[in-house]
Structure 1
């Protein structure tokens, strides 16, 4: 006779981890993101994102009609460079 026992908490933890991984994969597959997703990605408010990034001519943004769109990979690369530069300058960001 075969006896199988399952730890429900461990099973739930494994399930949630797999779901999280899949959600991340789906997000990575999104080539273009909108302003809402950009704000979520950066953990910043829309006014802050607008002041620091969207209206900066060097930021990889494009306007399609009334909507701003961003290439996810280009944004990641830009933010990596930007954050290195901020840290080199003391780690504080000032904006009006």
Structure 2
């Protein structure tokens, strides 16, 4: 399996809590239904759950979706819970 990773043109933070049990299809549905953004563009979508020590990313590489998962062993993120906090 080869990964066609390149720098995304856009990075979107999905504010608030996302159900981290969701896989590729569930996260793609969140983007399509709630934000109306193009999933197949050169964009990285980032999601965080209720715990600020882990997050997921979704990226289309031209052939399929790549789902990233990061868990901090020490520390956590300051994740915006709404669009006002993100600005």
Tell me if both proteins adopt one fold, taking TM over 0.5 as the criterion.
no
TM-score normalised over the length of structure 1: 0.27
Structure in which a larger fraction of residues adopt helix = 1
Larger strand proportion of the pair? 2
**Larger relative contact order (CA 8 Å, sep ≥ 6):** 2
